[in-house]
Structures are given as structure tokens and as C-alpha cells.
């Protein structure tokens, strides 16, 4: 038995990409029995020994399985809350102040725009860029695409998951994928090319880094959170927003924040709307880059 899978190490296991590679490979096999998702046991490590990435490939004999086929349910795993449960949070924290650009103006028969230059100038406004951190196979990016947000990058350190989302699902307009550890993503080409982002969104990713006592988090947990927030700060635009949905209560979340948080961010902790009696309580950490 590996140290990661040893009893009592469930928290550490959630921050190991090989655990998620196996998880998503198994989920894919459940609905795609003909597909062979190969997960390599070779991992890249940082100078401190932290796992940064693994490798995986999908080999289905030359055909590409369609997880969105009406007869084949897609194996989605919507952690914590679904779109209906977090839409209001995203609206208030970011979407209302950062609407997507209007649709391209219609063209006249000669190919020129039907709108005057004074009006059509607004269509040059850039689409707000959104980064999904440890996105898994959540449908939140697709829901945002439906609203018109077409500059989204999803990062996840499970190579099996990224291969599955890139190759086996119908593409979602304006959504791209990169395999990266959110604690070391700034130099990943796809992330660097898309930065800076106006919004970074996390639904359970920070929680997966946490293990041990909530009152006195181990040093490796504090270091992971510090690296994570450093990376998010680095790739956000000035005044960019980081929205995190967590199962952890506010007083425990506060203990995870680095000592210099107030010099780099404005931030608030609150209960997620729609949770309470009869359901698990989820909380939100909303941070704005100074």
C-alpha cells in the first residue's frame, strides 16, 4: 500500500494527481467500456518534491467516444453545488460587473455591419477571461459559455481528466483545457498565454489540499495554500477576483490564509446562499487582487 493510500491519509490522497487519474479513468470506463484510458505512473516533481503533473492518454482504437451522445450519460461529478447553487454567487461577485461582449453585429448583404460605428465600437470590448481552477468535469464552464463568456481556461492536474475532456466530449465554445497543478501553473504555456484573468473560480480545489487538524493545519498544508494563492494572484489582472467555494467553516478558512493576505487582497468570508437547514453548509471566500 502506498503512503498516499494508507489509512488516515485520505486528505493527502486528494492532492495527488494519480488518485484523480484513476478516479476519472474508472468513471470513463463505466460509460465507455470500449475505451482504454492509460494512466502513466510517471510523475513530475518540483524541487521540493511536490507532485506537479502526471501523464495519461486515451486509446480507443482510433475512434473518439462521444460522452454527450443521448444514449450515453456523461460522467459529470459536480462537487458541492451545481450551477443553480452558485449562479447568484458568481453574479454578485463578478458577472454583473463584467458582462460578456454583445454578439457580433449582423452584416448587410455587402458584408458591412448594419450598426453605426458609434454603436458597434462596443463590440470591440474584450470578453472577460475566466480561469477554472481544478475544474474536473464540472458543467460550470459550459453554463458560462451559454451566457456568452467565450474566453475560459480550465486547468486540472489530472492528465486523465484533461485527456477525457479534450478528446471525448463535444467541444464547448470558448472553453480550452490545460494540465497544470494550480500551485505551479504560471509558466504553463496555455495559462501564461491566456493571462491575465479577470476571474479565477475554485469549487472544492482548495479543500482538496487540506488535511490534518483544522485548528492547527500542518506546515505542508499552509505551504500548499500559500503557493496556490501566490499563483492565483500572479495570473489575475489588477482588481481581478478569486471566488472559492468551500466546505470549510470561515474560522477554519481564515487559519489557512497566509500572514500577508491583507497586503495583497481585499477579501470576505460568507455562507453560500441556498445552504443551511436540511443541507450541507458551504462557504465562500471572495478575494480581490490589490
Mean pLDDT value of segment 68-80: 51
Decide if pLDDT at 28 tops 80.
no
Higher pLDDT, 85 or 166: 85
Decide if pLDDT at 98 tops 70.
yes
Higher pLDDT, 35 or 156: 156
Whole-number Å distance between alpha carbons of 52 and 158: 10
11's CB contacts (< 8 A; 6+ apart) are 210, 211, 212
Decide if pLDDT at 171 tops 90.
no
Q: What is the pLDDT of residue 13?
A: 60
pTM: 0.73
Whole-number Å distance between alpha carbons of 200 and 16: 22
Q: What is the pLDDT of residue 38?
A: 39
Decide if pLDDT at 267 tops 90.
yes
Mean pLDDT value of segment 47-67: 31
Q: What is the pLDDT of residue 37?
A: 41
Q: Is 174 left (phi over 0), alpha (psi -120 to 50) or beta?
A: left
Whole-number Å distance between alpha carbons of 173 and 103: 13
Whole-number Å distance between alpha carbons of 104 and 116: 13
Instruction: Find out whether 266 and 288 touch, Cβ atoms under 8 Å.
Output: yes
Higher pLDDT, 5 or 98: 98
Instruction: Determine which of 42-51, 75-84, 133-142, 196-205 has the lowest per-residue pLDDT on average.
Output: 42-51
Residue 133 confidence class, pLDDT cut points 50, 70, 90: very high
Mean pLDDT value of segment 265-281: 75
Whole-number Å distance between alpha carbons of 92 and 95: 7
Residues 191-216 have pLDDT tens digits of 999 999 999 999 999 998 998 999 99
Maximum mean pLDDT: which of 17-26, 33-42, 56-65, 163-172: 163-172
pLDDT above 90 covers a percentage of the chain that reads 45
Instruction: Determine which of 51-65, 139-153, 154-168 has the lowest per-residue pLDDT on average.
Output: 51-65
- Bridge partners, 285 (sequence order): 244, 269
Higher pLDDT, 230 or 11: 230
Higher pLDDT, 55 or 34: 34
Chain centroid offset of residue 62 CA: 29
Amino acid at each position: 500500500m502506498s503512503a498516499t493510500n494508507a489509512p488516515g491519509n485520505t486528505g493527502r490522497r486528494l492532492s495527488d494527481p494519480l488518485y484523480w487519474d484513476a478516479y476519472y479513468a474508472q468513471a470513463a470506463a463505466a460509460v465507455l467500456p470500449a475505451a482504454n484510458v492509460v494512466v502513466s505512473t510517471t510523475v513530475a516533481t518540483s524541487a521540493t518534491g511536490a507532485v506537479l503533473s502526471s501523464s495519461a492518454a486515451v486509446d480507443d482504437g482510433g475512434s473518439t467516444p462521444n460522452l454527450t451522445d443521448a444514449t450515453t450519460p456523461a460522467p459529470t461529478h459536480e462537487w458541492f453545488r451545481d450551477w443553480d447553487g452558485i449562479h447568484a454567487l458568481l453574479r454578485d461577485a463578478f458577472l454583473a460587473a463584467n458582462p460578456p461582449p454583445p454578439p457580433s453585429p449582423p452584416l448587410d448583404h455587402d458584408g458591412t455591419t448594419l450598426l453605426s460605428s458609434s454603436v458597434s465600437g462596443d463590440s470591440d470590448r474584450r470578453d472577460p477571461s475566466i480561469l477554472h481552477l481544478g475544474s474536473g468535469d464540472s458543467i460550470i464552464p459550459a453554463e458560462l459559455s451559454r451566457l456568452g463568456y467565450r474566453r475560459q481556461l480550465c486547468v486540472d492536474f489530472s492528465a486523465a481528466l484533461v485527456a477525457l475532456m479534450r478528446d471525448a466530449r463535444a467541444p464547448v465554445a470558448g472553453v480550452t483545457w490545460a494540465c497544470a497543478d494550480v500551485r505551479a501553473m504560471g509558466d504553463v504555456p496555455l495559462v501564461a498565454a491566456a493571462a491575465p484573468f479577470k476571474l479565477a473560480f475554485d469549487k472544492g480545489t482548495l479543500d482538496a489540499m487540506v488535511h490534518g487538524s483544522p485548528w492547527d493545519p500542518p506546515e505542508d498544508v499552509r505551504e500548499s495554500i500559500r503557493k496556490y494563492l501566490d499563483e492565483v494572484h500572479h495570473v489575475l489582472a489588477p482588481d481581478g477576483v478569486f471566488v472559492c467555494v468551500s466546505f470549510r467553516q470561515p474560522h477554519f478558512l481564515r487559519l489557512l490564509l497566509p500572514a500577508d493576505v491583507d497586503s495583497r487582497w481585499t477579501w470576505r468570508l460568507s455562507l453560500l446562499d441556498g445552504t443551511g437547514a436540511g443541507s450541507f453548509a458551504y462557504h465562500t471566500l471572495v478575494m480581490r487582487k490589490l
